Chains A and B, each alone.
Chain A
Amino acid sequence: MSTSGKGPVGVEFVDLHRHFGTVRGLDGLSLAIEPGELVCLLGPSGCGKTTALRIVAGLDHPTSGEVLVGGKDVTGVPTNKRDMGMVFQAYSLFPHLSAADNVAFGLKLRGLGARERRKRAYEMLELVGLSVHADRYPHQLSGGQQQRVALARALAFQPSVLLLDEPLSALDAKVRVQLRDEIRRVQLEVGTTTLFVTHDQEEALAISDRVGVMNAGRLEQLAAPAELYSSPASQFVAEFVGLTNRVPAQARDGRAIVLGDQEVPALAGSVAGDGLALIRPEAIAVEPDEQGTATVTQLSFRGPITQVHCELGGSELLVQMASAEAQQLTLGGRVRLVIAPAPVLVVPA
């Protein structure tokens, strides 16, 4: 199944500002989503993710700036003419309609005949694995099932853009993981350009083609998940995505010296001179060594990996390593820390 005829379109935010009185919900957001791509907007609470999404949907209007869909400015187009499917954080199925009728709602508005609607509604429910519950009412469905129906409803009329605002945040952890993978599978299948808003970084990294990290109404970085993780463009991104250690460092000529004598490449955007290197917990290796300068202060077992806390010169470092390797460590034992030669970001101390 693909978006018939129309083909996927790109979406572009051009210097969006949205002011609520003195609060700057969006403060110059620019971002381009490629046709057929799934982009997650990720950021802390209140950074403007929902505001951005609502502006794309036409449910809110920018103070200045514009939204381009397929190269055309849609700023003045009302929501019901924008041709965008939307899945909300709150349960939004129409309580008086069955699952199938909910899915068929958008088709009915587009004048499709009853038989055609029914057929298409079943196809969509099939796609989200719920065709057996087609005749159930929303109050007879679980939260996860309701969100699946909502997804089917949003895609049934083959919208040019799919928008999701934290669709999984009301669900429990296990369902959340299942459903996010399902959303990604369905999205790849229909090929609709998709904007997904979340504050859950794991979710964003798992399903996106690219992740846009937002902070205070602006975009910090837009990059593929792996790149975002390995080459954060700013301190905010490095610290928001994944865990980091701050280790004193001297940077010069694209190199950084950390832990006295270890040299690693420094990322673009690093400061020169004295600073703090932001180092991922898994980029540090811990080796038992009687002459080592660090001490193991805590070992916490997390299944396949173990988190090791080490104390070094008065500061605490977090290390993640395979549990099998961590077995040779003892609490209070002396260890040596070795930094992997992956590039690090050095920020002002």
Chain B
Amino acid sequence: MKAWLRWLILALFAIYFFGPLLSMLDFSTKKNGGGRTGAAWKALVTDEQVRHAIVQSLLLCVATVVLMLVLLVPTMVWVRLRLPRLRRLIEFLCLLPLTIPALVIVVGINGVYAWVNYFFGYSPLVLTFAYVVLVLPYSYRALDASLSSIDVTTLAEAARSLGAGWFTVIVRVVAPNLGAGILSAAFISVALVLGEFTFASLLNYQTLPVVIDLFGKSDSHVSVAASLGTIVFASLLLLLLSFAGRRSRGPKGV
């Protein structure tokens, strides 16, 4: 390929990707009468409603990732080692949410959430339960790929012969070798949770995307600033995680 053609394609892609982002930056810093202002960005931390939504969404990310890992990692390892016949079934169950539109699920679990709120109190954090289901297909894929890349059976048998019980096998032998899979499962969950609108909106919880939408109607500068913030945050996280993923073979003490 000719060099100028390569550069042209690269430039087109750059415009396609960064154009909207730059426009968002431009719009979010524009003063209504003309000139520049950081007011919209400042509002992200000063506005009580926006700040609260940001904190809730970040907590939701953490809670979803933790619950997803705690449920999925031991289950998948166990199925692989002890119940290989159930593997197809588990895969099917984990991929199921992908085939059902979010709207349908929301309508279905609306009634359930009355009970959830009754037991856990009214906080956006209860969305964790729904979000774990939502991220299941993606995290399953990520974890499954990394489980397939190591010889789980042999590692587990070696550990067992050395005297390890099943808990030790999963926590101290298998999980540390799933580094890459756990990271990508975590990242994709964070990205999904930060962008999830349907559940939160219809179940009436004030997460960041819901608040962004709200502000889109009143103060669109703040709403665009929050959107751009989310995108930048998620991208940074991606960079950070892929960097950490490459170094996940660091030394550990005896």
Contact = CB atoms under 8 A, between A and B. Distances in A.
Interface stretch (A102-110, A265-273, A310-318): A102-110
Nearest to B174: A94
B47 interface: no
A86 B177 contact: no
Interface string B228-254: 000000000000000000000101111
Contact of A90 (B154, B179, B251): B154
Contacts of B160: 59, 78-80
A154 B173 CA distance: 16
Given A88-B158, A109-B164, A96 B254 contact: no
Interface string A70-111: 000000001111111110101111111110110011101110
Contacts of A85: 161-162
Interface string B150-180: 1100110111111111001000010011010
Contacts of A163: 161
A114 interface: yes
Contacts of B173: 94
B252 A97 contact: yes
Contact of A104 (B155, B164, B249, B254): B254
Interface in A217-259: none
Given A94-B177, A106-B163, A117 B254 contact: yes
Contacts of A79: 157, 160-161
Nearest to A54: B157
B162 A105 contact: yes
A343 B50 CA distance: 95
A105 B154 contact: no
A153 B157 CA distance: 13
Contact of B157 (A88, A97, A139): A88
Nearest to A137: B249
A105 B173 CA distance: 10
Contacts of B150: 95
Contacts of A135: 251
A80 B166 CA distance: 9
Contact of A95 (B177, B253, B254): B177
Contact of B252 (A91, A96, A118, A150): A96
B163 A86 contact: no
B176 A96 contact: yes
Contacts of A110: 163
- CB-based closest 9 A-B pairs: A106-B162, A86-B161, A92-B158, A79-B160, A96-B176, A109-B163, A92-B154, A90-B154, A104-B254
Given A82-B161, A150-B158, 11 more contacts: A80-B165, A85-B161, A95-B177, A96-B179, A101-B252, A105-B162, A106-B162, A118-B254, A153-B158, A153-B162, A154-B161
24 contacts: A59-B161, A79-B161, A80-B165, A81-B163, A82-B161, A83-B163, A85-B161, A91-B151, A92-B157, A93-B158, A94-B176, A94-B177, A95-B150, A106-B163, A108-B254, A109-B162, A114-B253, A114-B254, A118-B254, A139-B249, A153-B162, A154-B161, A154-B162, A157-B163
